[in-house]
Structure 1
Amino acid sequence: MKFSESWLREWVNPAISSEQLCDQLTMAGLEVDDIEDVAGDFSGVVVGRVVECHQHPNADKLRVTKVDIGQDQLLNIVCGAPNCREGLTVACATVGAVLPGDFKIKAAKLRGEPSEGMLCSYSELAISDDHNGIIELPEDAPLGEDIRNYLQLNDKMIEISVTPNRADCFGIMGIARDISSINNISLTVPQFETPKVTIDDKISVSVLEPKAAPRYLARIIKGIDVTTPTPLWLKEKLRRSGIRSIDIVVDITNYVLIELGHPMHAFDLDKIEGGITVRYGHPHEKLVLLDGNEIEIKANTLVIADDKKALALAGIFGGKDSGISNESKNILLESAFFSPLAIAGKARQYGLHTDASHRYERGVDPSLQYKAMERATELLLAICGGSAGPIIDATNTDELPEAAIIHLSRAKIDRLIGYHIDDQRIVDILTRLGCEVISNENSWQIKAPTWRFDIQIEEDLVEEIARIYGYNNIPNEHLNIELVMQHNSEKNVSVNKFKNLLVNNGYQEAVTYSFVDPKIQSLLHPNQEAIVLPNPISSEMSVMRLSLWSGLLGAVVYNQNRQQQRIRLFETGLRFVPDNNSEFGVNQQTLLAGVITGNQYEEHWDIKKRAVDFFDLKGDVESLLAISGLVDQVQFKPSQHPALHPGQNAAIYINNEEVGYLGVIHPEIEKKLGLNGKTLVFELILDKINQKSVPVAQDISKYPANRRDIAIIVDSDVCAADVLSVCKSIGGEQLIAVNLFDMYQGENIKAGQKSLAISLILQDKTRTLEDEDITHIVSNCIVALQNRFKALLRE
């Protein structure tokens, strides 16, 4: 939102500097992005009138003029502007004047003719980029007056960022309300006369979609002169608001837009066939916009139409066929309240973004339509002439938004702000903001103003009070509370410990979006339903993620496309699973995930290159689980995860509860994602691994440990982890370690079978184990393996 300081001060004029005003705006939540002077630094330029103008005798493109600046003698000035003519009121730089760029005006001769000054263009005074001719001032401009004073050039243009909840501040009036409240001074609303209705002409208005357009006002104005030049004061106000002057009708509707924050539109009445209908688009219906582009109107787009065709995209953009031209004499003026939901996102469907759509998407004041209509009518009649008909009102009051009524307690204000603000100051703040206030004992009943859609609950009001009172006016106070050390259980494992271990293992942390591409997610999780966003940033970010793999694999592709081959990434974050039994229908779980690809080691002359494999990643996962002391409880079991290679993946279980997955990305998915080479991933549910058992000190056995190795032959589909698990369960406390140290398939082993070599470490804490004890335990293990897996002891 861009506006001039002088325009704002017409509404509210606190005794503060421009810098202080900008500080107040920023502290009130209307952050000032830019402030600049409306004109360059110059002096010695006054209002003058060209009383004589004739061709220069020695130059075809120069004219010799005599200029009256209100003094006894006329000035001889040579001018080359094409619009220089007798009777023109101009900006005259006299001898001694200093123009922007430290350009000094001196008396001189141009092609033999004396010149005692210079007639200036807007660009020469650094007012705008217009250098097509000299400035043309109104005829009644007082001769000799300093041009800076006459055009109010000692002014500044201020640009602010308006947050989506403050649509009321897309107009001077809304900004002035905040400044009035902050400085505790009255708001000066510029007065204008209610235009007289002098004709009875009406047009039928039918609103077929009252939910989308609860209020639609129209008025016929006949006999206007569209060719009337826009007055300089109006043109300047628009320029200082970043709006280019087009024609008097458009300029007036833009003026109302900036002043009141309410969009309006004007149609050429003579181009309307029949009445006005507010409806949604018809199939295959087309419209040529004011910019000349033709569009096909979508069925979800609200349009303004006559009996035969669409005239405009409601609240977005007008149509060329019903637009105002120099031949227009009669117009239909529109002032409407369109529901934000009916306009939101519609302009982007057509590649558009207009001032009107920007405001309607965020919500305009539903009570402002009459005021905007009367203001625009008054300006049109005063400047262009014409006759106004009555306002045609099509309002469905049941569909208009209702202002919230909120109970506000004194205790809530004190608790949230932490500071006691006087009751009367609170009432003044809320009243100046437009609230209706009823005082009760230690509380108030507040009715929010119609232009504040964002005020819905008690906390919203407390925020308004603190914002207007000034956060910097709330004193800093030392806390007078008892400091209690927070209990931190030794069982809790900080997520930073997991992160630090992965960093030490060569991983880098990534942060990816929670919004992901549904196509990629359906490849990784084809059988899971995802949460679809109603208003996504883009089609590639339209669903909530079911795992962290989508973002991490996208990061891998991004880095591989930039010649990065060895990649190790990890991320912690939430996944969002639809669940009707959870709050808001979403089950959120914190995950820890990682991905590796490329070589296992950095390139080195003494290390042989080797691509990462399943066991490299499995080792990293086991290191993570070791932090929580869960390695002894973990099991890796073959799984059928659709995103992973059928023979190179595992589900991770702790105490028979599934806590995650790891494995190689499925070759088909690898190809579809554009991954370069074998890529491995893991994912763990963080809440399942961040609790550890407190270690208990135990005596170290002083008796010797004994090792026995056995080799068994089992079917190829037997999982080695299951074999080790059986040995542990049979061996009891005296079997302190079991390890698979070799696996063999080949000569002397039948097809479909494999040989597993297992070491058994036995030790007792109270005595030395005899050979009979050791043989008994080993024999029991062999028998159990024979019974469970039909294992054969290899000779």
Structure 2
Amino acid sequence: MQFSEQWLRTFVNPPLDSDALGHLLTMAGLEVEEAQPVAPAFSGIVVASIIEAEKHPNADKLRVCKVDAGTGELLQIVCGAPNAAAGMKVPCALVGAQLPGDFAIKAAKLRGVESFGMLCSARELGISEDHGGLLELPADAPVGCDIRAYLALDDTLFTIKLTPNRADCLSLAGVAREVAAITAAELSLPAVQPVEPVTDARRAVALDVPAACPRYCGRVLRGVDARAQTPDWMKQRLQRSGLRPISALVDITNYVMLELGQPLHAFDDARISGSVHVRLALPGEQLLLLNGQTVSLTPDSLVIADEDRVLALAGVMGGEECGVTLDTRDVFLESAFFAPAGIAGRARSYGFSSDAAHRFERGVDFALGPRAIERATRLILDICGGEAGPTVVAEVASALPERPAVRLRPERARRLLGVTLDDGQMQALLERVHLNVVPSGSDLLVTPPSFRFDVEIEEDLIEELARLHGYDNIPAVPPQGQLMMLERSESARSPWTVRHLLAARGYQEVVNFAFVEEAWERDFCANEDPIRLANPIASQMSVMRSSLVPGLVANLATNRKRQQQRVRVFEVGRCFERKADGEPVAGFHQPVRIAALAAGGVVPEQWGERERQVDFYDVKGDLEALFAPRLLSFEPLSHPALHPGRAAAVLLDGRRIGWLGEVHPVWVQRYDVGSAPVVFEVDLDSALESRLPSFGGVSRMPAVTRDLALVVAAEVPAARILEVLKAAAGPLVTEISLFDLYHGKGIDPDKKSLAFRVLMQDTHRTLEDAEVDAAVAALVQQAELVFGARLRGAVE
């Protein structure tokens, strides 16, 4: 929020300079983001009146002016401004004046004519970029008056960065209350006297949705002059608050909003039919807003309507068709309270924002409506004339926000703050910010006023005590206490452990946006209905990702464009999928996954090892190392992102946890990544699970090794055979491993020979041949039974 320091000081004027005031506001929780002067430093510029303006004898675009600058004699000044004319009041820089940029004014000759000063534009004063001509001042501007004093240029523009809970400070009155509380300076808010109605003109108001709008004030004003000029003092305050003056009626509603914090709206009463209704939008209704945007209203949109049509989007913006114009004669003035829950996010859902929505969605003082409409009525009557009707107040008191008392335990507050404040001091501090405090035994019952939506629990009150007492006044005491090591299961790993494991294998971590291109979801995930963003930050970031891999492929493409051929990257991040029972948001599942991509050489180019491109089995080894000592298994998989026949599902303890494979050639070509990278993606939770190694003594007994060459059908996976053999192995078998694959002479074309090495050992005795033969026979028998296998070389 931006405001003028001079305007603020009309409400509260503490004995502090601008810098001290800005620091005080920041330390009180109202962070001053920027403080800049209204105008740069300059001197020697006064209000002057042009008495004569004649054409320069030697230049077509120059005029020779006789100027009264209050010096006792007329000054001759040569001016090139196109609008210089007799009778104008303008700023005049006298000889010796200093303009912005250390530009000194001296007597000079211009095309043979002496000039004793300079007539100034707004740009030359540094107060505007307008350089179209001289800055024209009002006719009643006093000649000879210092221009800084006349235009109130010794002012500072404060921009404060408010947290969403401090909606009460989105007005000059709110900021003034805070300044008065923390400086103990006198607070003098504008006096608002009720305007006596002189006409019976009124409109009935119906609250069809009292939960969203429990109070609505409306007033009819007849015979106003909408073409009246907004006073210069009001224009100046609006401009210095970042608002552009538009017309008297609009400027007055904006002024009251800035002054008191209550958004108002002025309707052209002649365009309203019958009663005013605050209701929900009907199916198919549309509204042309004041910003020129036509919106299709949703059934949960709160609107202001008459008997025939929608007039405004409640608490957000008025409609173009019923807004006031320069021809408006009768005005219907609105001052309402809209519940924050009914307004929050409404403007953003339509792709814009407004000052009214910014305030209502954070919480506006629900008791302020009648006072604000009286203030606006008085300003309209004083500036635009007209006659006021009675204020119609529609209210459902039971739906207004409750302000229950909050119990504050002084002893707890002292313990948390580390400051010794007695109960009386706490009460005095809280009452300075208009909180009603009533002692209740050893506690204090504190009731917040209607404009403080942020005070709901005891911690809110303790925070108030801290900032009112002053954060600078709280001693910095080093914390003391005993720390206890928390128990942590050794079978669980942290995400950082997983990151370090991948980094140790040569991968670099990346962090990509969760917002991705819709084409990525369609190509890599076959996702035709991705989760779309209502307001994407860019057109190429319009949907939420359901996989991390597309982002890694994009990283690879970027690296390839920069001549980086060997790339190994990984990411740990959240994905987003539709799921009816999803948590924490119903309808959406948000798993955290880890994905990696490898492309280029297996190792960096070097003399000691022959160059070889990374393949499926290299990345499979990295994935298995990530899960060690737990063992993974793999099975064929068809996946839209992966090369057919070079893709596998990753299984842990029989459950699928992810996938692994080479990127499909179509996407390699489309996304211009050169050679095909190999990728994997698995659930992070599965990678965080570990298994503690169990100690076993080293046997002193000799081990026995037997090799089994089994002939099986070519389509039988070796991993499946290995799994069955291990399941059938007796207690003597300590290890079974595959060490050879053979196709060729002596083997049918539709079959293959797999050679397994079986290691057998007992820790207490030497094995006998009969025991070894029996164990091997059991393995062969199981392979025959399940796979129809036979020993290579055996007679069929």
Q: Tell me: CA distance 1:709–1:27, structure 2 relative to 1, closer, same or farther (3 Å).
A: farther
Matches within 5 A, 1:600-619: 601-602=602-603, 604=605, 607-613=610-616, 615-619=617-621
Matches within 5 A, 1:409-488: 409-486=409-486
Aligned letter for 1:784? Q
Structure 2 residue 502 is matched with structure 1 residue 502: yes
Aligned letter for 1:607? R
* Distance across 1 between alignment mates of 2:593 and 2:272: 63
Aligned letter for 2:658? Y
Structure 2 residue 626 is matched with structure 1 residue 624: yes
Aligned letter for 2:435? C
Matches within 5 A, 1:227-242: 227-242=227-242
SS in 1 for 2:47: strand
Q: CA deviation at 1:129?
A: 1.8
Deviations 1:225-247 (A, max 9, x none): 33333222222212211222222
Q: Tell me: CA distance 1:347–1:507, structure 2 relative to 1, closer, same or farther (3 Å).
A: same
Aligned letter for 2:200? D
Q: Tell me: CA distance 1:292–1:685, structure 2 relative to 1, closer, same or farther (3 Å).
A: closer
SS in 2 for 1:11: coil
* Distance across 1 between alignment mates of 2:531 and 2:183: 47
2:737 — aligned with what?
A: 739
SS in 1 for 2:547: helix
Deviations 1:576-628 (A, max 9, x none): 89696988879999855223253452563763443521x333322221222xx
Structure 2 residue 685 is matched with structure 1 residue 682: no
Q: Tell me: CA distance 1:740–1:400, structure 2 relative to 1, closer, same or farther (3 Å).
A: same
Check conservation: 1:643, 1:669, Cα contact below 8 A: no
2:659 — aligned with what?
A: 662
Aligned letter for 1:610? Q
Matches within 5 A, 1:612-761: 612-613=615-616, 615-626=617-628, 629-631=629-631, 635-636=633-634, 648-654=647-653, 658=655, 660-664=657-661, 677=676, 679-686=678-685, 689-693=688-692, 695-696=694-695, 698-716=696-714, 718-744=716-742, 748-750=746-748, 753-761=751-759
1:101 — aligned with what?
A: 101
Q: Tell me: CA distance 1:46–1:665, structure 2 relative to 1, closer, same or farther (3 Å).
A: same
1:165 — aligned with what?
A: 165
* Distance across 2 between alignment mates of 1:779 and 1:154: 102
Deviations 1:167-220 (A, max 9, x none): 222222222233333334443313344434332221233444434433322222
Check conservation: 1:266, 1:333, Cα contact below 8 A: yes
Q: CA deviation at 1:710?
A: 0.9
SS in 2 for 1:46: strand
Check conservation: 2:644, 2:664, Cα contact below 8 A: no
Structure 2 residue 541 is matched with structure 1 residue 555: no
Q: CA deviation at 1:739?
A: 0.8
Q: CA deviation at 1:89?
A: 3.8
SS in 1 for 2:178: helix
SS in 1 for 2:44: strand
* Distance across 2 between alignment mates of 1:659 and 1:678: 22
Aligned letter for 1:598? A
Q: Tell me: CA distance 1:750–1:461, structure 2 relative to 1, closer, same or farther (3 Å).
A: farther
Structure 2 residue 125 is matched with structure 1 residue 125: yes
Check conservation: 2:427, 2:437, Cα contact below 8 A: yes
Matches within 5 A, 1:340-355: 340-355=340-355
- Larger deviation, residues 762-771 vs 259-268: 762-771
Deviations 1:677-723 (A, max 9, x none): 46532314536744432543x44334443432111123455443343
SS in 1 for 2:548: helix
- Larger deviation, residues 438-447 vs 238-247: 438-447
Aligned letter for 2:705? R
SS in 2 for 1:475: coil
Aligned letter for 2:785? N
Check conservation: 2:287, 2:297, Cα contact below 8 A: yes
Q: Tell me: CA distance 1:57–1:664, structure 2 relative to 1, closer, same or farther (3 Å).
A: closer
Check conservation: 2:552, 2:597, Cα contact below 8 A: no
Q: CA deviation at 1:569?
A: 3.4
Taking structure 1 as the reference length, the TM-score comes to 0.86
Aligned letter for 1:792? R
Q: CA deviation at 1:350?
A: 4.3
Taking structure 2 as the reference length, the TM-score comes to 0.86
Check conservation: 1:78, 1:113, Cα contact below 8 A: yes
Q: Tell me: CA distance 1:404–1:342, structure 2 relative to 1, closer, same or farther (3 Å).
A: same
Q: CA deviation at 1:742?
A: 2.3
Q: Tell me: CA distance 1:727–1:431, structure 2 relative to 1, closer, same or farther (3 Å).
A: same
Query: What are the ranges of 5 or more consecutive residues in structure 2 without an aligned counterpart?
Result: none
* Distance across 1 between alignment mates of 2:356 and 2:612: 62
Q: Tell me: CA distance 1:624–1:294, structure 2 relative to 1, closer, same or farther (3 Å).
A: closer
1:793 — aligned with what?
A: 791
* Distance across 2 between alignment mates of 1:290 and 1:568: 53
Aligned letter for 1:686? D
Matches within 5 A, 1:50-65: 50=50, 52-56=51-55, 58=57, 62-65=62-65
* Distance across 2 between alignment mates of 1:227 and 1:215: 31
Q: CA deviation at 1:396?
A: 2.9
1:260 — aligned with what?
A: 260
Deviations 1:526-555 (A, max 9, x none): 99999999999899989987xxx6134333
Q: Tell me: CA distance 1:687–1:723, structure 2 relative to 1, closer, same or farther (3 Å).
A: closer
Structure 2 residue 386 is matched with structure 1 residue 386: yes
Aligned letter for 2:265? H
Check conservation: 1:591, 1:683, Cα contact below 8 A: no
1:400 — aligned with what?
A: 400
* Distance across 2 between alignment mates of 1:530 and 1:416: 47
SS in 2 for 1:190: coil
- Larger deviation, residues 447-456 vs 530-539: 530-539
Cα RMSD of the aligned pairs, angstroms, is 4.0
Q: CA deviation at 1:485?
A: 4.8
- Larger deviation, residues 37-46 vs 148-157: 148-157
Q: CA deviation at 1:43?
A: 0.4
Q: Tell me: CA distance 1:438–1:680, structure 2 relative to 1, closer, same or farther (3 Å).
A: same
* Distance across 2 between alignment mates of 1:659 and 1:469: 59
Q: Tell me: CA distance 1:417–1:518, structure 2 relative to 1, closer, same or farther (3 Å).
A: farther
- Give the length in aligned residue pairs: 783
Matches within 5 A, 1:69-88: 69-88=69-88
* Distance across 2 between alignment mates of 1:270 and 1:119: 47
* Distance across 1 between alignment mates of 2:150 and 2:359: 33
